[in-house]
Every structure is written in C-alpha cells, then in structure tokens.
Structure 1
Amino acid sequence: MVAAAAVAGFPILRTAGRALLARVVGIDLLVSVASIGAVVLGEYGEAAAVTFLFAIGHALETATLNRTRSALTALVALAPDVALVLRNGEQVEVPAGSVQTGETILVKNGARVPVDGTVQQGAGTLDEASITGESLPVDKSAGDGVFAGTISTGGFLQVLATEVGAATTLAHIVHRVEEAQEATAPTQVFMDRFSAWYTPGILVLAIVVGLVTGDVLLALTLLVIGCPGALVISIPVAIVAGIGRAAQLGILIKGGEFLETAAKITVVAVDKTGTLTRGRPALTDVVVLNPDLTRSEVLGWAARAEDGSEHPLAGAIVQAAAQDGALPEHIISVPGQGIVAAVAGHTVLVGNPALLHARGVRGTDAATAVADELAARGRTPLIVVLDGVIAGVLAVADEVRPDAADMVAALHAAGVARVVMLTGDGPRVAQAVAADVGIDEIRSSLLPGDKLDVVSGLRRDGHVVAMVGDGVNDAPALATADIGIAMGAAGSAVAVETADIALMGDNLLMLPAAVDLARRTVRVMHQNVALALVTVALLLAGVLLGGVTMAVGMLVHEASVLIVIVNAMRLVRRSGPRAEPAARKKSEKSEKSEKQEMMA
C-alpha cells in the first residue's frame, strides 16, 4: 500500500511543490498533505486509495478535457502538408510552407487547398465548411476566391496564391480560436479569486478541526473532501467547448468575455444593406404602358440606354436584359433625374417623373401613378420613354436575403427581445424591407454617426446591444455596441482580428445560432458551478456527520469533475437553431426560382 501510494503520489507531490514555489496553494497540495498524513497515521490503504484515485481521475480528466478542444485540433489538421505548384511549366510537389505569394497552385479533385488565392483557370467545387460553416460545396471558377484548408470535391483549379502560411484565413482562425479558448471570462475571474481564498481556507479549516477534535484523520479527510477540482474546472471547460463548437459552425468568438456578454443580448441592431439585403440592386418589375411594345422590348430599350451608364441601378437593368443590343451613341446624364440616350436613331429616356417633366413628355399621369405605387412598396421606379412616348415603368430594389425572415424569427426564439434595423435608406424602402423580414423597429435615413447614436441610446436604456454589420460605415456602431458582430468575415483578416464575434459566412442563420450557443454555454457554466458546490457541501456534511472516508471522498470528488467535463461536452454536439443543409437548400431553390423568373 505504501509503495502504491508512493508511485501514484510522487507526481502529485512534485506538482504541489512547483505550485508552492509559485506561491499557489492548489489541489495537489491538499492531496499530498492528506496522503502523507494518512501514511504517518498508519492508514496505508487510505493513502494508496486517495493517490491512486486522484491519479486515475486526473488522467481521465486530461483525456476527456482534450476532447473539448477537438474543434481546434480539427482546424489545425486541415492545413495540408504539401502543395502542387506550377514551376517552369512543370507540376512540382513542395511543402505547403514553402509556397510563395504569386505562385500558381494546382488543386485537383480530393486535394486540400494549401493557400488563400484567386482562381485563374478551371472550374470545380470546394467544401468550405471548415471556414464558413457552409455544408454544401461551393462552385468555383475564374475570378473566385479560395481559402486554405478547403477541400476540392470535383474539377481542376489553377489558383494564384495571394496569402500563404500564417497569413491565410485558416491560420487566422486557428490563432483566434486558440486565444479565445485561453481567454478568461468574467465568471472565471471570480471563480479564480474564490479558489485562491477557498483552497487555503480548507487547509486552515482542516487544521482547526484537527486541533479542536484531536482527530487528525478527520482533518486529513476534510482536505480531500474540500478539493475544489470541479469548481476550478467548471467555467473554463464550458468556455473551451462553447468556443470550439462555435468555430465548427463558422462562428469566431473572441473570448469568454464576449461569449458571456452574447448570452445576455436583449437587442440586436442590424444594418440593412449587405446584411438583411444582398447589397446589390436587382430588377423586380417591368410594367408595360405602350400596347405596341412587349415586356422584353421595354426592358431591351432601357438596357441599351443604360449600357453606357455608371449608375448602380444601370447594372441591374442591363443584367436583367442579358442581351447584345445596340450601344448608345450619346448619353446625357441628368443628376437626380436619370439619363437621355441616343440608341440606333431613337431617343430613349430612363428616369423619374422630374426628367419627363423637364423633357416635356406628355401623358405622364399613368406612369407617375405606377411609379408611386412601386415606390410605396420600397422599390426604385424608372420610367422608360421611347421617342417621346412612354413605354413602361421598371422597378429596381435591393434583394432581401431569403433567410432574413428566418433569422429574425430565430433570434426571437433564442430570447432576443427586439431586432432593430438601421439603414441610410428612406422610410418607404425601410418599411418595405421590415415588413418582409419581420423587424420590430425601424431607424431610417441614418448617417454612420446616427447609427452610433442609436446604439448608444439603446445601451443607455439598459439593453445589452449587439450590432451586426459588414461595412466600414458600420464601424463606429460596431465599436460602441456591447458586442460587435461582423458578417461574411471569411477572407478578411481585419474582421477576424477586430470583431468581437465574426460570422465567417454570409448565412444569416449563424447569428441566432451564435446567440443560442452563448446562452447554452452560460447555462452549462452555471450548472457546473452548482454541481461542484453541492458536491462539496454534501461531502463536508458527510464527513462531519460520519460515514464518508478519505477514499470515498476522493472517489466522489473525481466523479464530480468528470461529470462537469461531460456536461460541458454536450455543447460540442449539434443542437440549437443553426443553418441546417435543408434550410440552405431551400434558400438555394428560392434563389434559382427567382433567377428563372427574372430570365423569363
């Protein structure tokens, strides 16, 4: 028994000695004192049992705890060891770390992309789940960006390397997850301070009990029973598991502090353009007012006139027309009104009622009525006039993302009280988008500074505010909010490094998934703390009332530690609202149907 206690107890004693040199009174010291005291008292079986159970328990803790870091391990494993590089016209396999910026990388079916870059030639599909959380393969062709660590599921790509080694998006993600899992949450800071007083307090209590009762074995048993192992590990193990699970979903959380704050969010402020909407205008309506013309003819004349325009709305019209027509011979741009173009001997006007009035076009009542109706629905109307006769009215609008309404509903389900839309657009457009999406509150016609004021006002009202955006204009509001959340951060090292939470993909359902995961993580933290405290309280009562021995106390203590870890590991499993493949497929189908309708 003494030999067993010595073999199992020596590593514990060594760790306790190192901790004392650092002026830390830890769990290992309590176990060491208890086991040595048991040997001195002749309780050899107790000494062997305590050290053996502690050693076995510590090994199990380490093995189980490592599983909570599985997400980080999986991310590191994604980095390929080799790369196929095109050098001097030949394919050369080299270590991935030796690839230089500007070299051409060949990515074949089944291979991992070793660098961040841009596709030069070829076509194929890549599994980007490790970066963006998107489970469906993404089509890639010339001009598209690719990320290191993604896997080719078909095709052949020639990629120009733009970021290599530690500069890749994958490397930034690994670095950020590693730092986040090591960061200390506010609750953990409190528990560390508590443990710093609790552990010496148990030592003093044991000494007092021993002196008062004269029962040294009872005092030593108190040392074992009072070990705060489960208490110390209850918070960090939950944070590591929560942040790791978030990384698997394509959600980067900067640290435990932001994880805890995200669990308290009551208001989410969302930028409209580029977040709730796609950030690019698209043709929505074509109303024909000249019976001599067809829908395609009205659209075609407008597209030919706009083909030489640099206005953002022009691209939507030209893209919708998708035809090779006569280019405009001469264009007059009228700021705030539209354009006048000469096309194949005809004069085409595309603009608002003010342009028609300025050009003396007659019979505008019907066109103006249609334009007003479209504007009331949050769309930008453009009246088309051919050779002085009104041909029809086109409408252009920024497309609302198909998952925007689901996101708002999921945020409410996750416990967020209000979703506020912040936009620089006018009230009509804002109201139309809000009606489609289900927004609770609208703040329209805002400048970047106004968005900051809105966020500050919400915080002054006592709300915990998350600001979601994707543009430079949102930076002041993102910095002011309790939690700044960057959308579509994949490939942006700045967003990954500066955002409190970075959603790597453009899937809006990641946002409620992040909030729900944060709330579940904090619940697990509270459960773990409660379990640890109840276990210690029951064991202390059992010791003082009799019936709980040193070995039994150590067995229960180690069991509570394992239960705490296993409870935290529940976070690693898939659960809660998230962007399931079916939802993505539904969105993709709706996008395809929209495109087909547009082409028709």
Structure 2
Amino acid sequence: MRGARRAVRHRWAASAVSGLLIVAAPIVERTVDPDTGRALMVAASLVAGGPIAVRAARSLGHRTIGIELLVTTASVGALVIGEFWEAAAVTFLFAVGGALEASTLGRTRRALAELLDLAPAVAVVVRDGEQVQVAADQVGVGETVLVKNGAKVPVDGEVIDGRAVVDEAGITGESIPADKGAGAKVFAGTVSRGGFIRVRATGVGADTTLARVVHRVEEAQEEKARAQRFIERFSRWYTPGIMVLAAVAGLLTEDVVMALTLLVISCPGALVISMPVSIVAGIGRAARSGILIKGGEHLETAARVTAVALDKTGTLTRGRPRLTDLVPVPGTTQHDLLGWAALAEAGSEHPLARPVLEAAREAGLPAPPLPDQVVPHPGKGVQARSGTHRIVVGSLGLLAESGIVADPWTRATVAGFAEAGRTPMAVALDGAVLGVIAMADEVRADAAAMVRELRDAGVRRVVMLTGDDARVARAVAATTGVAEVRAGLLPEDKLAAVRALQAEGQVVAMVGDGVNDAPALATADVGIAMGAAGSDVALETADLALMSDNLMRLPEAIRLSRLTVRNLRQNAAIALVTVAVLLSGVLLGGVTMAIGMFVHQASVLVVIVNGMRLLRIRPRTVEAHRACTAAGEVRPATAGSR
C-alpha cells in the first residue's frame, strides 16, 4: 500500500495517467462511444489539473496569484465551453513541464549533494590505548583519530605524527593532493591517498570546515539576487494584470477561447524560473572549485567588479618572510642585534615576528623571555620594554616618533635594502640604533598570471595596497605586473583607498585574509577572503571565500560571476521573447491554447537547460594556473609590512 501511495505521489504519476487518458480518449470516441471518449478527455484534464488547482488554492490562501491560477482558470473555462481537448492538453503539458522542471532543477543542486557525500560516517579513534570505530559526530575535541590509506578524514584537526598524501579537492577545489606531516592541518571530508597519520581533533560534527561550507552553500542557494527579487515582485502584479487583460479582451471580442488562450500563453513561468536556476547552478559550480559565494546578490556584484584591490603580504607573496640580512653598527655583534630584536618580537602578533624568532632559534640563541610591555604600531613596527630597557624595531618613521635620530649610515642601509626589494627594519636599544635587519618574501609563482587573468576577465584596474615601503612595493609590482601601487598604508589608509576607488565610480573587490584589513574588506563592494579553509571568520564575514591559497581562483570567481549574470540575461530574454511571440500569434490568429502551452513549457525547459550549462563550465583559469605552475619558478621579493 505504501509503495502504491509513493507511486501515486511521484512527480510523474499525474502526467502519466493523464497522458494515457488523452491517448485513449479519441480511440474510445471513434470505436465505442463519443460521450465516453469525451469523458476520458475530461478525466485527463482533471487528473493533471487537480494538483495544479490545489496549488493555486494554496497560493490564494497566502494572498498570492500564481501561474497555477492562470492555468486552472484557463482549463476550467475550456471545459465549460466544451473545449475538452484544449483543457486536457493544457493541464497535461503544464504537469509534464512541472515534473521536468523539478527533475532538472534537482540536478543544479548536485554540487551541494556532492559536498554532503564528502561527510564521513565513521571514525577510528584511540581510546584507552585501543582503536575504536565510532560515528564521526561522536568524536570528542582533543581525541586522537587514525586516518589510514584510502580513508576519509572524519574531523578537522592537526597531524600529530605520520605522513600522508591527502586529496583536498572537495574542500579547496585543488586537484593536486597535498602532502601532510606533523603540524599540518587536515579537514573533514578530505581523503588519504597514501600513508598513515594520527590526527588530534580540533573540530567535529557541525564545527568542521565541511559542515560550515555546506551550510554556507545552502544559504547562498536560497538567497535571492536583486534581479530575482525584482522578477518575483513583477510577477505578483503581472499575473493579476494578465487575468484582467484576458477578461477585457474576451468581453470586447466576445471570443472566450482567445481570452483563455491569452491566460495560458502569458504565464511568466520561464521568466520566474530563469533566475533561480542560473543562480543555483552558478553558486554550485563555484563551490566545486572551492569558491564560496555568499548569495545571489554578491554574485551579481562580483560580476560588475571593475577594480580589484590586493593586499601584498600573503596574497601576491606567500606571506612566509624569512630573515635575510643582519647588519649591526660597529661595536655590536649580529647575535646582539638579533637577540634584542627577538626579545621585542616575542610579544608581537605580527607575521614579521615569526621570521625573527625563527632566525634567533636557528642561530642557537636562547628563547627570549616575554617583554614586560609591548606596544604595536600598525604599519610601522613595535616598541617593547623589558626591565629598564626600551627596544624599538621598525621603520625610520617609528624611530623618529620614538625620539630616536637615525644617522646617515642607518638611513643609507635602510634605503639600500628597500631598493634591493627587501623589507628593512631598524633596531634600537635605549635610544641608540643597534643596526638594521632585512627580510624577504617570495612572490607567488602564479601572481603575474593571476593579474593577467583578472584583466582578461574584464577588471580594468588592479591596485596593490600595502603598508610596506614604496620601493619594496614597486619591486613586487614590477614582478607581478600590477600597474597601481599605494604603499606605506596603515589599516585606515587602506579603507580610505577603497573608498577613493569607489568615489571614482569603480566597483571594488578587496582581497585579504578575512581577519586583517577588516575595515577595507567590509567597505569594499565585494570582500574576498583568501585561503579561508579552516577559518570561521573568513567563512562568516566574506562575501566570497576562496578556500585555497591558489591565486587563480580569484579571476575564476570573477569570470564565473560574469558568466552567471550573462546566463541570467539570456534566460530573461528567452522568456520575454517567447511571451511576445506567442502574444502576437494569439492576436493575429494561429496559436491555439494547446500550442501556446506547449511553446510556453518548452521555453521553461530551455531556460533551465541553459542555466545548467554553468555546471559544465571549465574556466580557462584552470589551464592558465597549470601552465604557470609548470613553467614558472617562485621568485624572491619582499617581506610583508606591519
């Protein structure tokens, strides 16, 4: 019984029964009895039209006049005037179109289903020294999880020991598996392609990156674009307007069939469905590439981007600066210079602190104690106090603010490092300069290709915003092909730079890490977070989140947004042209109710299929990335700025 009920409720059941009755009706009419044949045709229209009428009544209950009401009114009118074939044909075609629409729309959501399939069901954890298999959502934070060859990683976590090659394509969109060793981060839903690792769980169940990605994609596919909201508002007025128009036309011409036909051919079904199918397909296709788009509105905005503002450190460069030079003043050793710099940086949270501390450790210096007081100066450096000593590490400007006079040698040394493409910092102790240290970062191998691809995608201006020295910034710009550089910027200056671009009429996308440069990211028309995998802040705050650090995902996101909006426009044009042609056909004669419904439903399927094309797009930035990775080498450039 339950199986029979499921079959009846299946989306194709009403269409199938109605279709059989329509085929049988003329046969019975000619061979058995004309009245029986006509009764079968009426039954066909009732079987297919019943669910349509129910939906129309529900919509009216919510004070909404929808497409179903137009079809129901037209079919009932046809039955009343004895046009049984027309009534059956209209309801049958509408039912078939609805079933096809539901089926094909389901395919556009396949990207989300694929993400859900990534979620592992079980995990192997170590409890009381034994391996125990448990449900993945039953793993506790801090527990040790074993990931063997071929197994899915069940949690977000940090590798304790072992080594494995992990396929992260489902999360980051990267096709090349990543090598994971002790200290590396792994994400739930990724797959070990070789090796064995022990992982300490840091995120489980709904707190994993995969769960947050799925949640974000679900929200994004439901969020409406501006054009979609406009079409829905338009249809709420359009539908009752068409009913009034049909009634007036019927009264004036005394042609009831024409009035009913107007109801059928004027259904805005293709126009209404054209928007969500493209939005859902575009967002789903982006998710496959590790590009999370917050919703249709942000996708539309990304398609209009004319200027991209890039932070230098961690975006154009790898963000892993290393200490390259130690130049002490006469009477000071390199160890002394490095030791005092490390002491000041021990209490700093800035990325430039890490290479100083690493260099001190590699030089065999003892781990510096935490200073008594640390005062960061964003964009300039850091001041620290340890006992009676005051240490300053940073730019010449910070030295001046601290009342320290930089002698000509210090100025010349700083200038020399900057001209060479390194980031220099002076180190002073108790008001006297001890020397200059310099750092270098690496320009990403695909940075130049990314800039070219942005321009090919239609971005007119690519601007570097950095707190680094202007000479250092120009060196990176020359390497990457960035034409505009704004250097020596504090966080508030970057915000002002974004606003200035907007004041010039630019639609600005700001690219950062989702945490730093937060004001600029929030002010930009589109905030884009790089390397968002594992970052709660980036996933929640960014309009677009690129899950990997692959720069080529940036132009791919812009290009895919433009393709999706172009697809939206194509679908709207198809829908409007179809209605215009059918309307002309009705007024001029020749378009019947059945033909009108057939063409209308065909246009619905055309816009759905056109939207689904987005799922098969393979942006050329993928090939560009592979080419530049294969041919290019990582080039040294500057370190980051404070």
Q: Aligned pair 1:279/2:322, yes or no?
A: no
- Which residue type is aligned with residue 266 of structure 1? T
Q: SS of 2:517's equivalent?
A: helix
Alpha-carbon distance between aligned partners in 2 of 1:303 and 1:582, rounded to the nearest angstrom:
42
| Distance change >3 Å, CA 493–CA 481, structure 1 → 2 | same
Q: 1:427 aligns with which of 467, 470, 478?
A: 470
| Distance change >3 Å, CA 42–CA 368, structure 1 → 2 | closer
| Distance change >3 Å, CA 3–CA 426, structure 1 → 2 | same
Residue by residue, what CA displacement relative to the aligned partner does 1:89-145 show, whole Å, maximum 9, x if unpaired? 222211122222122111111111111111112110111111111111001111111
Higher mean displacement: 46-55 or 468-477: 468-477
Partner of 1:449: 492
Preserved CA contact (<8 Å) 2:449 2:628:
no
Q: Aligned pair 1:590/2:621, yes or no?
A: no
Q: 1:210 aligns with which of 250, 256, 281?
A: 250
TM-score (norm 1): 0.84
Partner of 2:262: 222
Q: SS of 1:445's equivalent?
A: coil
Preserved CA contact (<8 Å) 2:423 2:469:
no
Q: Which runs of 5+ in 2 are unaligned?
A: 1-40, 328-332, 346-350, 372-379, 382-393, 397-407, 427-435, 637-642
Alpha-carbon distance between aligned partners in 2 of 1:435 and 1:165, rounded to the nearest angstrom:
46
Residue by residue, what CA displacement relative to the aligned partner does 1:173-193 show, whole Å, maximum 9, x if unpaired? 111111111111111111111
What is the number of residues matched between the two proteins? 548
Structure 1 residue 582: deviation in Å? Answer: 5.9
Partner of 2:555: 512
Structure 1 residue 578: deviation in Å? Answer: 2.8
Preserved CA contact (<8 Å) 1:107 1:158:
yes
Partner of 2:510: 467
Alpha-carbon distance between aligned partners in 1 of 2:305 and 2:298, rounded to the nearest angstrom:
11
Q: Aligned pair 1:491/2:534, yes or no?
A: yes
Q: Aligned pair 1:140/2:163, yes or no?
A: no
Alpha-carbon distance between aligned partners in 2 of 1:564 and 1:222, rounded to the nearest angstrom:
21
- Which residue type is aligned with residue 590 of structure 2? G
- Which residue type is aligned with residue 580 of structure 2? A
Higher mean displacement: 146-155 or 312-321: 312-321
- Which residue type is aligned with residue 44 of structure 2? A
Q: Aligned pair 1:79/2:119, yes or no?
A: yes
Preserved CA contact (<8 Å) 2:448 2:480:
yes
Q: Aligned pair 1:576/2:619, yes or no?
A: yes
| Distance change >3 Å, CA 168–CA 326, structure 1 → 2 | closer
Identity level (%): 62
Q: SS of 2:196's equivalent?
A: strand
Alpha-carbon distance between aligned partners in 2 of 1:373 and 1:16, rounded to the nearest angstrom:
77
| Distance change >3 Å, CA 204–CA 487, structure 1 → 2 | same
Alpha-carbon distance between aligned partners in 1 of 2:263 and 2:425, rounded to the nearest angstrom:
81
Residue by residue, what CA displacement relative to the aligned partner does 1:186-245 show, whole Å, maximum 9, x if unpaired? 111111111111111111111111111111111111111011100001111111111111
Alpha-carbon distance between aligned partners in 1 of 2:161 and 2:173, rounded to the nearest angstrom:
26
Q: Aligned pair 1:404/2:447, yes or no?
A: yes
Residue by residue, what CA displacement relative to the aligned partner does 1:378-415 show, whole Å, maximum 9, x if unpaired? 224799xxxxxxxxx99631211111111111111111
Partner of 2:207: 167
Q: SS of 1:126's equivalent?
A: strand
Q: Aligned pair 1:249/2:289, yes or no?
A: yes
Preserved CA contact (<8 Å) 1:225 1:554:
yes
Alpha-carbon distance between aligned partners in 1 of 2:507 and 2:353, rounded to the nearest angstrom:
41
Alpha-carbon distance between aligned partners in 1 of 2:115 and 2:440, rounded to the nearest angstrom:
40
Preserved CA contact (<8 Å) 1:225 1:557:
yes
| Distance change >3 Å, CA 580–CA 285, structure 1 → 2 | farther
Alpha-carbon distance between aligned partners in 2 of 1:328 and 1:102, rounded to the nearest angstrom:
31
Q: SS of 1:446's equivalent?
A: coil
Taking only aligned residues, the RMSD between alpha carbons, in angstroms, comes to 3.4
Structure 1 residue 590: deviation in Å? Answer: 2.7
Q: Aligned pair 1:93/2:133, yes or no?
A: yes
Residue by residue, what CA displacement relative to the aligned partner does 1:419-442 show, whole Å, maximum 9, x if unpaired? 111111111101111111111211
Q: SS of 2:464's equivalent?
A: strand
Alpha-carbon distance between aligned partners in 1 of 2:503 and 2:365, rounded to the nearest angstrom:
56
| Distance change >3 Å, CA 38–CA 380, structure 1 → 2 | closer
| Distance change >3 Å, CA 326–CA 256, structure 1 → 2 | closer
Q: Aligned pair 1:34/2:77, yes or no?
A: no
| Distance change >3 Å, CA 160–CA 314, structure 1 → 2 | closer
Alpha-carbon distance between aligned partners in 1 of 2:352 and 2:605, rounded to the nearest angstrom:
61
Alpha-carbon distance between aligned partners in 2 of 1:235 and 1:475, rounded to the nearest angstrom:
32
Higher mean displacement: 93-102 or 178-187: 93-102
Q: 1:56 aligns with which of 96, 100, 105?
A: 96
Q: 1:234 aligns with which of 261, 274, 299?
A: 274
Q: SS of 1:279's equivalent?
A: coil
Q: SS of 1:494's equivalent?
A: helix
Q: 1:47 aligns with which of 87, 90, 104?
A: 87
Alpha-carbon distance between aligned partners in 2 of 1:515 and 1:585, rounded to the nearest angstrom:
19
- Which residue type is aligned with residue 266 of structure 2? G
Partner of 1:266: 306
- Which residue type is aligned with residue 464 of structure 1? V
Preserved CA contact (<8 Å) 1:305 1:328:
no
Structure 1 residue 83: deviation in Å? Answer: 1.3
